Structure 1
Amino acid sequence: MRFVVFILLVLNTLWADQSILTKKEQDWIKNNTLKVGITDLYPLSYLTKDYQRAGFANDILALIIKKFQIKNRTIDIDQGNIEFAFENGEIDLIPLVNNSKVENDIGVYSSEILEIKRVLFVKKEQNNINSIDDLKHKKVAIINHAGNISHISTKYPNIKLIETKSMEESVSLLLEGNVEALISSPIIVQKYLEDNLLIGLKAMPLIIFEPTNLYYLTKKSETELQSIIEKGLNQITIKERKELFDKWFLKDLADLPLIFSREEKNYLENKNAINMCVDPDWMPYEKIENHKHVGIVADYMKGFQEKIGVPLKLVETKNWSQSLEYVKNRKCDILALVMDTPKRREYMNFTKPYITTPLVLVTKRTVAFISDLKTLKNKKIGIQKDFAYNDIIRENYPNIQVIDQKHLRDGLKKVERGELFGQVTTHLNVAYAFQEEFYGSLQISGKFDDEWKLSVGVRNDDPVLLSIFEKLVSSISDETTQKIMNHWVSIKFEKVFDYQLFWKILVFFVFVLSVILYTYFLQRKYIRKLTRVKDEIQMLNSTLEKKVQSRTSELELSNKKLKDKTHELEDLNNTLDIKIKKEIDNRKKQEQLLIQQSKLAEMGEMISMIAHQWRQPLSALSTIIQNIHLRYSLEKLDQEYLDKQMQLSNALTDKMSKTIDDFRNFFEPNKEKKPFSIKDAIQKTIFLIDDSFKSNSIKIEYQILDDVIMYGFESELSQVLLNILTNSKDAFLEKDIQNPEILIKTKKVQTHIKIMISDNAGGISESIINKVFEPYFTTKESYNGTGLGLYMSKIIIEQNMKGQLSVKNIKNGVEFTIYIPLKIN
Structure 2
Amino acid sequence: MIILKLFLFSAFILFSYAHANLDLSQDEKNYLKEKKEIKVCLSPKGLPLYGSKDHRKIGILPEVMHLIEDKMPVPLRYVPVKDWKECIALSKKGTVDIAALILASPNRHTHLVPSKKVIEASLGLATKITAPLTEDISKLDIKSIASLKGQKSIAAFVKQRFPEVKVITVNSIDEGLDLVAKGKADGYIDETYTLAYHILNLYSNELKIIDRVSEKPMAGALGVRKDEPLLLSVMNKAIDQIDPQKVRDIVHRWISVKVEKGFNYVLLVQVTAVFFLLMLVSIYWIRKLAKEVEKRKFIENELKELNENLEEEISKKVALLHYKDAILMEKTKLAAMGEMMGSIAHQWRKPLSTLHINIEMLEADYRENRVDENFLSTFIEKNSRIIQYMSRTIDDFQHFYRIDKEKKIFDVRKKIDAVLDLKMYQLEENDITVTISGESFSTLGYASEFQQVILNIIGNAKDALVEKGVAHPTIEIKIFYEGNRGIIRISDNAGGIDIDMINKVFEPYVTSKDSSNGTGLGLYMSKMIIEKNMQGKLSIGNVDDGTEVTIELRREKDE
TM over 0.5: no
Larger radius of gyration: 1
| TM-score normalized with structure 2 length | 0.44
State the structure with bigger RCO (CA 8 A, min sep 6), 1 or 2: 2
Taking structure 1 as the reference length, what is the TM-score of the superposition? 0.30
